[in-house]
Amino acid sequence: MIPNSGVSGFSLIELAIAIFVITLLLGGLLVPLSTQVEQRKFSETQKVLDEIKEALMGYALANGYLPCPDKTTAAGVGTANDGQEDVNAGTCVTQEGNLPWVTLGLTGYDSWGNRFRYRVDAQFSQRAPTFTLTTTSTTLRVCTTAACTSLLTTISDGPPAIVLSHGKNGFGAINSITGSANPAPTAVDELENTNGNATFVSHPTSTAGSGAGEFDDIVVWLSREVLLNRMVAAGRLP
């Protein structure tokens, strides 16, 4: 007969309670950790977008005009989704597509593995028969909503180019691994950033259940005045 040592083990109920408490503690740690990871991805993508703006400025100073987009479909001259700008007889095959990351010497995708969307105003990318840049405002604009009740860019300083990441959900982007298009967005503000017109939307992130609908695009743009001033200083403009 084994004597009683005076030490009793955990009962099944006590063990279940202990596991439940540990699960709650781990859950409380994992949620903030996932939030931190997404915040880091957002910050890294924002940093890359700032680097893209500088790369576009540098390209314009070196060449006298901005690069054309890399097209995303088979239509027209050039190869789709290869990172090279697509130009035909001195004009862009399309004014909106992928950022031409190979042409600019950049990585070309955001922290979620999707290509950056790039739109350039025609007068800033035209190069044949001669460079025709004028100092008039561009047609591009950035608004706080798809209805564009409030502008983030002024009419007199219409941006020469706009670059954006389609964020965590990636709706409307080109996947950098497969080269195929992700599902289209359903919220109106994200749809505005994929419909191919000259209006883009930028505002803080919102969830699918909010009044604004789901939105996690990260949008940046070049200042026309800053670009023109740098080109004048570099001798690219009189």
pLDDT score for 210: 86
Mean pLDDT (whole number) for 161-188:
96
pLDDT score for 1: 47
- Rounded CA separation 142/201 (Å): 5
Residues in the chain: 238
Task: Please state the domain extents for the chain.
Answer: 12-233
Instruction: Tell me the three-class secondary structure of the chain, residue by residue.
Output: CCCCCCCCCCCHHHHHHHHHHHHHHHHHHHHHHHHHHHHHHHHHHHHHHHHHHHHHHHHHHHHCCCCCCECCCCCCCCCCCCCCCCEECCEECCCEEECCHHHHCCCCECCCCEECEEEECHHHHCCCCCCCCCCCCCCCEEECCCCCCCECCCHHHCCCEEEEECCCCCCCCEECCCCCECCCCCCHHHHHCCCCCCEEECCCCECCCCCCCCECCEEEECCHHHHHHHHHHCCCCC
* Buried-exposed string 131-157: b where 16+ CB fall within 10 A, e elsewhere: bebeeebbebbbbbebeeeeebbeeeb
Q: How many CB atoms lie within 10 A of CB 114?
A: 25
pLDDT score for 129: 67
Point out which residues pair with 148 in neighbouring strands.
none
pLDDT in tens, 130-152: 666 665 668 899 999 999 999 99
Task: Indicate if the pLDDT at residue 24 is higher than 80.
Answer: no
Mean pLDDT (whole number) for 23-41:
72
Task: Indicate if the pLDDT at residue 6 is higher than 70.
Answer: no
**β-pairing, 199-201 with 96-98?**
unpaired
pLDDT in tens, 33-80: 667 788 899 999 999 999 999 999 999 999 989 999 999 999 989 999
- Cβ contact 162:192 at 8 Å: no
pLDDT score for 30: 58
pLDDT score for 17: 79
- Cβ contact 165:221 at 8 Å: no
Least confident of 79-88, 96-105, 150-159, 209-218: 150-159
pLDDT score for 79: 95
* Residue in 129, 83, 87, 79 with CA at minimum distance from that of residue 103: 83
- Cβ contact 104:59 at 8 Å: yes
pLDDT score for 136: 64
Q: What is the pTM of this model?
A: 0.84
